[in-house]
Amino acid sequence: MTGSIGLLAAAIAIGLAALGAGIGNGMIVSRTVEGIARQPEAKGTLTTTMFIGVALVEALPIIGVVVAFIVMNQ
């Protein structure tokens, strides 16, 4: 892609990746808090699972940045 179109595509890719990660992280944390409120004794297990889920969701913006760099270099 040439010039400004490539930059626009890169910005959209990064923005959508960040939006998706924000929504996903919010859902994961809210469900974890609900689970802890219902079963406080499962806090350790739920927290561990939450951190694993958040780490997986955070891979999305990283992939979005990589895609943006690829698009910008074409």
The confidence score (pLDDT) of residue 71 equals 79
Tens of pLDDT, residue by residue over 19-30, are 999 999 999 999
The confidence score (pLDDT) of residue 1 equals 52
What's the longest Cα–Cα distance across the chain? 56
pTM: 0.79
Ranges in the chain, pLDDT < 50: none
The confidence score (pLDDT) of residue 67 equals 82
What are the chain's domains? 4-72 (1.20.20.10)
Burial class (CB in 10 A: 0-12, 13-18, 19+), 53: middle
